[in-house]
Structure 1
Amino acid sequence: MTLMIERPAAAPAAPRAGTGRPAWEEPPTTVGQAAKGLTLGGMLAVVLVPLWIIVVTSLSTPGAINRAGGLVIWPDGLTIEPYREMLSDSTVRTSLLVSLGITVIGTAVSMAVSVLCAYGLSRPRSLGHRVILITLVVTMFVSGGLIPTFLVVTGLGGYDQWWALILPSAVSVFNILVLRSFYSGTSAELIDAARMDGAGDWRILWSIVLPTSRAVTAVIALFYAVGYWNSFFNVMLYMPTDSEKWPLQYVLLTFVNRGNGLPGSVNSGFGSTHAQTAPLSLQMAVVVLTLVPLLIVYPFMQKHFRTGVLTGAIKG
C-alpha cells in the first residue's frame, strides 16, 4: 500500500530582495521607463541649458559674442575679464555684502517670529490662539494694499533705512501655518512627560519641538533666505536713490534690465573702456554672481528640503 503525503501549499512569492517595490505595485515597463527618462531629461535640459548659456556668455570675449550674434552656446574664446571688471567695481562689492547681511539678519528675524508664533498656535490651550489663527488666515486674502503699507513704513521713519528692507516682509502666514501644522503633530505624551519633569514652554520648544522638526524648519528657513536674497521691490519703494545701500539684485536690475551702467562705476558698464570685455558678458557675469550663493546652499539643504516638504504636506 502506498502512502500519499500531501504537500503544503506553496507560499506566495515574496518581492525580489533589494527592489523596495510594494507588492501591489506593477513592475515597470520599458515604455514607462523610457517616458520617465525622457521627461526627466527634458526637465533637466530646461534648467541646465539656460544656466550653461549664461555661464559661457559671461566668460566669452567680444569677438565670440559678435560671431554668435548675442548669447553664446558653445565656448569660443574664454576670458575672466568680465568677472575681474565686475568685482573691481565698489558698488558690486558693497551690494554683495548688503545682500548677505539682509539675508542673514532677515532670515533670523523671520524664523524667530514664525517659530514662536507657530508654536503658540499649535498649543490648543494657548490664550486666544483660535482668534489669532483666524486673523492670520484672513490676512492671506485681504491686505491693506501697497500705498497704505508705504505710508505706514515711511511714517515710522523707514524711508532710506535698512530695516525697511526686512520688517515689512518679515512674516509669511503660509510659512507659519506649515510650521504650526507640523508642531501640532508633536507627540502629546512626550510634551506631557516633559511638563511633569518641570519643563516650561521655552524648554519644550528648544529641546523637544525644534529637534523633532529639524527638516521642516530648515525648509522654511531656506524659503525665507531665498526670498530675502532675491528681493528688490522694497528697495524700489524705500531706498531708490542711495546706490551704496542697494542689494545685489537691485544692482542687477538697474544694470541688466534698465540698460544702465554699474552705479558708481568709472567704466559705466555698457560703455566700458576695456576692449576685452563685452557689455553682454558683463551682464551675464552679474547674473552668475547672484546665482552662486543659492547653488552653493541648495546641495546641503536637499535632504532637508525633500523630507520637510513631504512631511509637512502629509501632516497638513
Structure 2
Amino acid sequence: MGLRLYDWCEVVLDGPNTFVDAAIRYLWPQARPVPAHDALPQVRLVLGRIEPGLVAGASRRRVTLYSSPDGRVPDYNEGVEYTGAPGVDRLVLNPHTGSHFLVTGHRVCVVNSEFEAGMRDALRVIKQLVTTAFEAVGVVTVHASAFAVGGEAVAVAGRAGAGKTSTVLAAVANGARMVANDKLYACTDTGGTHVRGWTDPIRVIDAPGHPKRSTTLAVYFAGDADRVVEDPLPLRTVVLARVGTPSVPVRCEELDRAAGLRELRREVLPPRVRWLGTEPSPASDPAPPTADRFLSLTYGYRDASQAVDLLMRRLHA
C-alpha cells in the first residue's frame, strides 16, 4: 500500500496486513492512501530471520541509529552495520530488538521474528524517511508540544517532565485542537514560523498514582480528525511550562522575547543521523524558529486545568 504523509512525503508499505493496518493507525491523521509504484521508497516488514550467510563473511562496525533529546532510547540508539553483505547495499542490525535492516536502493526490508519489535523498527524507518525529507528542504525538528487556538499554534516547551503533554491535553479538553505532544516540524521564512506535529503516541496517566501508558492519537481522539490539526499553522506564542508540586501557585507571566527565543532555539534538535544511506543531505543553515510572544506557565501537577484556564485568558488578552 502507498501512503502520503504530511501531504507530500510518499512511501510504500509491504508486509502482513496487521503491519499495514497498525502503521496507518500509528501515523493517523497524517497518512493518506495513494497508488503504489516502483519509484517510491518501500518499507517492508518480514517476519523471520535473515540467512546466516549474509553476515558470515562481513565485517562489523558500530553505528548510531538515533540521538535522543531526552537521553537514551533503550532499544534504538545504537546499531551494528555489516560491510560486504552479499546482495544488499547496506545491512544494519538493531541488537536490542533483533531487527535486521536490509537496504537495497530505496527499498528497506525490516526482518524480525517478533511482530511487535519488527513493526516498531519499521515505523522508525518511516519516521526516518519523513524527517530527513523535511530536513532536506530546511525544516527543523523542535522538541516541544503544541495546540491550536484561533488558527494559530501555541507551542509548549520545557525539559522532560516539565508538563508539555499535560498542558496540551488540558488545553484540548478546554476546546483547543491538538497539534503535537512531543515534537514539531518547523519551517521558517520571512513570514515567520509554521509548525506541524509528529504523530507519535501520547503518554497519559489514567488516574493520580497510576503509571503512564502510551496510546496513539487515533485511539485517544477516537478517530475524530477534527480534534487534531493536520496542516501547518503559524507559530505565534511559545509557553515555557514548569510543573511543580501541588503547593506551587498557578502563574502565567510574560517573558522577554530575546530570552524566550533563546529558550525556543535550544529545543531545536540536530539533524537525524543518516544511517540508512538513502536519506538526502540536510539543508545547510536552516532558519531557526521564531515567535511573537513568550509566556511562562507554572503550576502544580494536579492543577493543569486551572493553569490552562489562566493561560487561555492571557492568550486572548
TM superposition score normalised by structure 2 = 0.24
The structure with the largest alpha-carbon Rg is 1
Higher relative CO (Cα under 8 Å, sequence separation at least 6) belongs to: 1
TM superposition score normalised by structure 1 = 0.24
Larger proportion of helix: 1
